[in-house]
């Protein structure tokens, strides 16, 4: 187990050592999926920009279960309104039946239909594909669609997320398994010279058909440490059972590679 953890951490450190030939300004106000809360906003990263993210999650259950998840993620602005990426989660638990291991790669794509204007919010459609590769990844692919809306009032924004999973429930993985359906409402507020963002959210989800609906509340903070590095931390707690809680800590780095940028300003 120590060897696996050392290898995983070494891989993460190597990822952050990737040389960037040109840097891009990151928008700290963008809310990413599960960072620092589960709700995300309806915007994508800039075209030609890369964003390397390292979120870590700690979850504690009421029956004594403990889980630590490290999920390196790389996203790329392939078009002006389209973002694609991949996530590679590794899990470490104290659960005998689950154990430690790779939870399977997840590919995703986001399309921003519009920016806010004329009284309408911004809308985004997200598609995720979880692949069955890894000890904790499950037996079948899992496909999820999510709709996102964002509306702003000055320094305050509201976000609505709704998602539905279309994969076979019996083939879901033991870790990072998508819920059958998920919904969330969040509000964020910008403070401290446009460098600090506070977020609060309420979530509802049903893990599998026929299960009870789980509700939870979460809060989070995002801070732009440098022009290209953002730090975040979040805390969530179950409303149904206060013993279930989780903590998220993450860092993201935005950059561009000069050789991939268009020539002549195109």
Q: Where are the alpha helices (DSSP H) in the chain?
A: 2-16
C-beta of residue 163 within 8 angstroms of C-beta of residue 40? no
Residue pLDDT, tens place only, 57-97:
999 887 778 889 999 999 999 999 999 999 999 999 887 66
The pTM for the full model equals: 0.86
**What superfamily would CATH give domain 2-257?**
monomeric porin ompg (2.40.160.40)
Residue pLDDT, tens place only, 181-229:
999 999 999 986 668 999 999 999 998 888 899 999 999 999 999 889 9
| Segments of 23-81 assigned E as strands | 50-60, 66-70, 73-79
Provide the residue ranges of all domains of the chain, joining segments of one domain with +. 2-257
C-beta of residue 203 within 8 angstroms of C-beta of residue 219? no
Residue pLDDT, tens place only, 95-135:
766 678 898 999 999 999 999 988 899 999 999 999 999 88
**Beta strands 66-70; 50-60: pairing state:** antiparallel
């Amino acid at each position: 187990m120590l060897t696996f953890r050392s290898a995983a951490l070494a891989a993460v450190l190597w990822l952050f050592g990737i040389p960037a030939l040109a840097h891009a300004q990151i928008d700290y106000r963008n809310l990413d999926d599960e960072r620092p809360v589960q709700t995300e906003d309806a915007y994508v990263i800039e075209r030609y920009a890369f964003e390397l993210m390292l979120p870590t999650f700690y979850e504690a259950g009421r029956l004594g279960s403990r889980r630590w998840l490290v999920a390196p993620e790389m996203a790329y602005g392939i078009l002006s309104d389209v973002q694609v990426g991949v996530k590679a989660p590794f899990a470490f638990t104290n659960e005998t039946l689950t154990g430690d291991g790779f939870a399977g790669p997840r590919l995703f794509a986001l399309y921003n239909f519009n920016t806010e204007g004329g009284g309408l919010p911004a809308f985004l459609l997200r598609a995720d594909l979880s692949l069955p590769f890894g000890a904790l990844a499950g037996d079948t692919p899992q496909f999820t669609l999510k709709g996102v809306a964002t509306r702003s009032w000055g320094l305050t924004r509201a976000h609505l997320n709704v998602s539905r999973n279309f994969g076979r429930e019996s083939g879901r993985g033991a870790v990072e398994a998508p819920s059958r359906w998920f919904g969330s409402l969040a509000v964020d507020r910008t403070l401290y010279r446009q460098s600090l963002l506070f977020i609060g959210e309420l979530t509802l989800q049903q893990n599998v058909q026929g299960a009870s609906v789980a509700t939870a509340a979460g809060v989070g903070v995002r801070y732009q440490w440098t022009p290209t590095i953002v730090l975040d931390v979040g805390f969530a707690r179950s409303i149904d059972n206060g013993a279930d809680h989780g903590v998220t800590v993450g860092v993201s780095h935005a950059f561009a590679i000069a050789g991939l940028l268009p020539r002549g300003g195109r």
